[in-house]
C-alpha cells in the first residue's frame, strides 16, 4: 500500500485539520438535528427525527452530552450502529435482487454524528476534490463528462495534429465494486493529509463490520445479521477516482 500511495499529493492543510477537529458546538448539534427529514423512517429504536425536533427542550441536554462524548472519546456506542435494512420492491412481484431497492434505516443519533462530520467537511471539499471530478460535488454534474468526452472524440477524429499527439482510452468501470481493505481507506485519508483524530471519527462511524443489521421485508423484521468482515468493503467507483488518477500520472 505504501508503494501505491507514494508521491500522493497532500491536499489537507493544517488550518483545515484544525477547523475539522475543533470542539463540537451546541449550534452544530442543533443544526444537525433539525436538518434531518422529520418524516424519515425510524431505525431499530423506533424514534424518528420528528420526536427529537418536537421534544427538543426535553431531550436536548442528553443528546448534547452523548454527541459531545463521542467526539471527545471517538467511541461510537454500539446501539447507534444498529440498522434496519429495508427491501423495497420495484415491481409488484419481485423475484430477483435487482427487483428490490434496499435502503438503510439508521438511528437518529447516528445521523446527527454523520451530519456534523459532513457539514464540516463540505466547506473544504473544493480544495480537496480534484476539479476534474464532476460527480458528488455541489454545482457539478456527471453529465458534463458526456459532453467533454464527445468533444475529445470529435477532435481526435477531425484534427490531424491532435490525433497524432494525443490518445484516449476508456477504462471499464462495470466492475467498480471491487473490494478495498479498511487499511487502504485509512491510508488514502492519511495520504491526503487528514489528521489522525478526524480519521478516527470517520472510521468510527463507517466501519462496516461493527454495524448490526436487521433485514426488513414488507415492514416486518425477519432476520438479524452482524457483519463479520475481513476488513473489506465494496467501494463506489467514484471513491477511487483520485487514486486511479494518481496511479496513471505516476
DSSP codes of every residue in 29-82: HHHHHHHS-TTSPP-TT---HHHHHHTHHHHHHHHHHHHHHHHHH----GGGGE
pLDDT at position 101: 84
Q: Which three cell numbers stand for residue 131?
A: 476539479
Q: Cβ contacts of residue 182 below 8 Å, gap of 6+?
A: 203, 207, 231, 232, 233
**Element housing 16 (H / E):** helix 14-20
Q: What is the pLDDT of residues 137-188, one digit of tens each?
A: 777 787 888 888 888 899 888 988 888 888 888 776 555 445 567 788 888 8
Distances (CA, A) of 13 to 128, 176, 191: 10, 30, 12
- Closest by CA position to 33, among listed 8, 53, 3, 6: 53
Q: Who has greater pLDDT, 210 or 72?
A: 72
- Residue tagged 467526539 (cell numbers): 71
pLDDT at position 144: 81
Q: What is the pLDDT of residues 214-240, one digit of tens each?
A: 776 665 655 555 544 434 434 344 444
- Give the number of residues written for the chain: 250
Q: From CA 23, how far away is CA 220, in angstroms rounded?
A: 40
Asked if the model's pLDDT at residue 35 lies above 60, the reply is yes
Q: What is the pLDDT of residues 43-99, one digit of tens each?
A: 888 899 999 999 999 999 999 999 999 999 998 888 888 888 888 888 888 888 788
CA dihedral 79, 64, 73, 194 (to 10 degrees): 100
pLDDT at position 21: 95
Question: What's the whole-model pTM score?
Answer: 0.74
Amino acid at each position: 500500500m505504501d508503494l501505491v500511495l507514494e508521491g500522493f499529493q497532500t491536499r489537507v492543510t493544517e488550518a483545515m485539520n484544525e477547523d475539522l477537529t475543533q470542539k463540537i458546538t451546541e449550534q452544530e448539534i442543533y443544526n444537525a438535528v433539525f436538518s434531518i427529514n422529520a418524516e424519515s423512517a425510524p431505525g431499530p429504536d423506533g424514534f424518528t427525527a420528528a420526536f427529537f425536533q418536537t421534544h427538543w427542550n426535553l431531550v436536548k441536554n442528553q443528546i448534547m452530552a452523548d454527541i459531545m462524548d463521542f467526539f471527545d472519546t471517538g467511541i461510537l456506542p454500539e446501539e447507534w450502529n444498529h440498522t434496519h435494512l429495508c427491501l423495497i420492491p420495484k415491481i409488484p412481484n419481485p423475484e430477483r435482487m435487482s427487483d428490490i431497492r434496499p435502503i438503510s434505516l439508521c438511528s437518529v443519533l447516528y445521523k446527527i454524528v454523520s451530519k456534523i462530520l459532513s457539514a464540516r467537511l463540505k466547506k473544504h471539499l473544493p480544495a480537496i476534490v480534484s476539479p476534474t471530478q464532476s460527480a458528488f460535488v455541489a454545482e457539478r454534474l456527471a453529465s458534463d463528462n458526456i459532453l467533454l468526452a464527445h468533444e475529445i472524440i470529435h477532435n481526435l477524429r477531425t484534427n490531424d495534429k491532435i490525433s497524432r499527439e494525443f490518445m484516449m482510452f476508456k477504462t471499464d468501470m462495470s466492475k467498480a465494486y471491487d473490494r478495498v481493505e479498511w487499511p487502504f481507506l485509512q491510508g488514502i485519508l492519511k495520504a491526503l493529509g487528514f489528521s489522525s483524530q478526524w480519521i478516527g471519527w470517520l472510521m468510527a462511524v463507517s466501519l462496516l463490520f461493527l454495524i448490526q443489521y436487521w433485514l426488513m421485508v414488507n415492514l416486518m423484521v425477519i432476520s438479524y445479521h452482524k457483519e463479520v468482515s475481513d476488513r473489506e468493503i465494496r467501494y463506489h467507483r467514484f471513491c477511487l477516482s483520485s487514486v486511479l488518477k494518481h496511479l496513471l500520472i505516476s
